Structure formats: structure tokens, C-alpha cells
Amino acid sequence: APLYVGQSDDWDCFCCLLWDPAHADCAVPQELDTDEVLKQLKYVNAVKNRLADRKHKPA
């Protein structure tokens, strides 16, 4: 389900308003475990901080 839609038992892929073939395959798992999401978020934040530090560091 899109992030703004609460997924329920009667929700199905064809309920999406915008058709996006790249992301509309019902055979592909659409949900990650919370631990995996937190792990990826931690990595993204670490990379973001490294890039910000690199911008502020004198050359």
C-alpha cells in the first residue's frame, strides 16, 4: 500500500490511484521488518552526516 494509505485485508495492488509498473508487482514483498528499516535509516543518516561534514571541512 502507498505510505499514505492504511493497508487492510481488503486492500489490493489494483487499488493504487497511479499506475507505476516498476512498483506494482504484487509478487514482490512490499514491507520490511522494523529492524531492517531502522538499520537502513541509521546508514542513511551516517552517510548524510559524512557528506555534511565534508561540505564544511576546508579544502
34 within some domain: yes
7 within some domain: no
Query: Could you give the CA distance from residue 55 to residue 51 in angstroms, rounded to a whole number?
Result: 6
The pTM of this model reads 0.45
Specify the pLDDT at position 57: 73
47 within some domain: yes
40 within some domain: yes
In tens, the pLDDT along 3-45 reads 666 667 766 666 555 666 666 666 556 678 889 999 999 999 9
5 within some domain: no
Output the nine-digit C-alpha cell for 14.
489494483
The model's confidence at residue 47, banded by pLDDT at 50, 70 and 90, is: very high
Specify the pLDDT at position 17: 57
Specify the pLDDT at position 38: 94
CA dihedral 44, 47, 49, 54 (to 10 degrees): -160
45 within some domain: yes
- Residue 52: give the domain boundaries: 13-56
Number of domains in the chain: 1
3 within some domain: no
Mean pLDDT to the nearest integer, 53-59 = 77
